[in-house]
Structures are given as C-alpha cells and as structure tokens.
Amino acid sequence: MKEKLEKIKVVALEEINSASSTKGLEEIRIRLLGKKGELTGVLKEMGVLSKEERPVMGKIANDVREAIEDKMVKQKNIIKEIEQSKEFDTEAIDITLPGIKEEFGGLHPLNMVIEELSDVFIGMGFTIEEGPELEWAKYNFDMLNVPKDHSARDLQDTFYVHNDIVLRTQTSPIQVRTMLNQQPPIKMLAPGRVYRSDEIDATHSPVFHQVEGLVIDEGITMSDLKGTLDMFAKNLFGSQTKTKFRPHQFYFTEPSAEMDVTCFMCGGKGCRVCQNTGWIEILGCGMVHPNVLLDCNIDPNKYTGFAFGMGLDRITMIKYGISDLRLMFENDIRFLKQFK
C-alpha cells in the first residue's frame, strides 16, 4: 500500500506540474481526490489493515494528500498568472488613441443677455416668473387699462387666434397672473417672447423679446423706481453708467417715464451707436395705475408699486455689434458659433 501511495504521489506531482489550464487541473483533482478518485480508493482500503499498520499508513496517506493539494494550489496560481497575462495581451486597450471630441453648444446672445439681466435682479431679491405665449386678450389688454378702442388691439397690430385669445404682445400678462395668484409684497421679473404683426426688416420682427418687472408693497414710491433702475443700469453696463428719466405716457402706469443710460459703447462721449447724443434709451417705466391694481384684486389705498419694461433685441444687438435683427432668428450655425 505504501508503494501504491508513493507511486500515486510521484505520478500526480508530475501530472500537476505539466497541467496548463484551470480546467485540466480540476480534472486531475477529481481523478485523484474525488469521491471515486485514485487516492480516495486507496484510503477506502485501509479497513483491511491491522490496528498497528493503520495509523502509520494513515499518516503516509495524509502526507501524500497534503503534498498533492499543496502542489495543486501552487500550480493553480501559476496557471492563473499565465491565463491573465494572455488575457491582457488579447484585450489590451491602446490608451494613446485620441478620444472622440464632444461638441458643446453655446447660449444664444439673447439668452446671454436674459441671464445676465436676470442675475442682476435676482441679486436685488426679484423672482423670475413665466407665462403662456397664447394669452387671454383680457389679460393682455383689458386688465392693463388699455382702452377698448386703442390701436394696439387692432388686427393689424396683434395676432388674434380667437376673439378672446391672442399671441401676447407684451410680457405684462405674466404680472397680471402673478397678482391674481398672490398678494403683495411682489417683486418679480418676467422675461419672454412676444408677438406683434410687423413686417420683417433689419430692425423689425413679428417675434421679439422683452423683460418686464413689477414691485408692489406698502409705501413703494417713484424713488424706489429710480433707485432700483439706476442700480440695475450700473450693474449691467458698469458702475460709471449714469441714468436719466424723461416723462412719458403708458396706460398701465401713472406717472410714466422712459429711462436713458449713458452710451455703453462710447461711455457718453458720442458715437455712431448713440447717434452722437451720448445717451441710449433702454426702458419704459412708471408707477402702477390704480385701475390695474384694482382689477387684480389689490387694494390701491394700501399698496403702491412700480413697473418697467424693456425690449431685449435692440440691447443685445448693440452689446454684440449685431447689425441685422434677422440674424437673431435665423439660427445660422455660423452666426451662433461666434458667441461661444
């Protein structure tokens, strides 16, 4: 039996040594140490030995088993390393290959101006509100104190979708909606796309962009209006900017004014952009008309407020030196790429 065991050991160690795959090694293990394996078979024969022989033979058998198992573990590690290095060779990634470059888009110049302007007002505590472009004629005209026979309501000036529904001609209905939903204090900004039935040329378009603002609280005065808008102009165009207010007339505000800023292209010296006046008109404003407050369920005896509105397309064109309004709407990639 001893010789049998020794022979199994010698043959096994040799076989294991020449095994070259994990699978082959496993087959050897089953053949030797499995339930019906060679070594297991020998161990089963131990029953026929004498009491004295059994522990001696048992120890030898255990030593053989341990030697085989030990060799198996070592060979397994060697095979694993070989297999892994083969895998690395076949699945190698060439890290020197250049990647595929992601193309990033950029903001439209109008959106850059909207974002910059919104940031200034957010810094002063305003919220940004939005509303639908298809709007009730009632919210677009009636509630803003626009007379029933005003020319702005004409079919020539306004796109009617229905008797009562228009493409909004200003962002003011956003303020109406906010006032109907919320009691003061209100401090909001409403940027958006608006529509008027205009012929297209270098300075006119049936679709354009506005930002309007509204502040309503107890004790709001014309000084708040001037202070806020002067601060806004200095933030957007630079701290050297001066403002001046000229009286004007709107239906939704009384008193009303237009605000000019010192030309942000020449600093006020006079240039082509400001037609040598040194000033650029940038917005209309005024104290909210009591009729507008009343229609929106706000008590004009308790609350007052100011509002302002500005067209964004012209400001954007001046700021970026864009000579034709049509470029802003054609979305020609060669034009847009210049603002990245």
How far apart are the C-alpha atoms of 136 and 138, rounded to whole Å? 5
- If the CB atoms of residues 28 and 292 are measured against ligand 2U9, the closer one turns out to be 292
Which residues participate in the annotated binding site? 254
CB of 222 to ligand 2U9, least distance (A): 13
CB of 106 to ligand 2U9, least distance (A): 25
CB of 298 to ligand 2U9, least distance (A): 10
Torsional sign, CA 259, 265, 266, 270: negative
CB of 267 to ligand 2U9, least distance (A): 24
Q: Which residue is nearest to ligand 2U9 (CB)?
A: 284
CB 171 within 8 A of CB 131: yes
CB of 125 to ligand 2U9, least distance (A): 19
Q: How many CA atoms lie within 13 A of 189 on its CB side?
A: 22
Which residues participate in the annotated binding site for Mg(2+)? 254
- If the CB atoms of residues 255 and 270 are measured against ligand 2U9, the closer one turns out to be 255
CB of 122 to ligand 2U9, least distance (A): 19
How far apart are the C-alpha atoms of 179 and 217, rounded to whole Å? 12
| Amino acid (1-letter code) at residue 11 | V
- Angle (CA) 246-247-248 rounded to 5° is 115
- If the CB atoms of residues 40 and 221 are measured against ligand 2U9, the closer one turns out to be 221
How far apart are the C-alpha atoms of 119 and 231, rounded to whole Å? 13
How far apart are the C-alpha atoms of 272 and 265, rounded to whole Å? 9
- Residue 292 burial (10 A CB sphere; 0-12, 13-18, 19+): buried
Question: Measuring CA to CA, how many Å separate 310 from each of 126, 181, 283?
Answer: 16, 24, 5
- If the CB atoms of residues 131 and 268 are measured against ligand 2U9, the closer one turns out to be 131
- If the CB atoms of residues 57 and 131 are measured against ligand 2U9, the closer one turns out to be 131
- If the CB atoms of residues 75 and 205 are measured against ligand 2U9, the closer one turns out to be 205
Edge-first strand listing for the sheet containing 279-288: 127-128, 186-195, 207-217, 304-311, 279-288, 253-262, 243-248
Residue numbers at the binding site for ligand 2U9 (CB under 6 A): 144, 170, 172, 175-176, 210, 212, 214, 250, 252-253, 283-286, 288, 292, 307-311
CB 50 within 8 A of CB 69: no
How far apart are the C-alpha atoms of 304 and 33, rounded to whole Å? 96
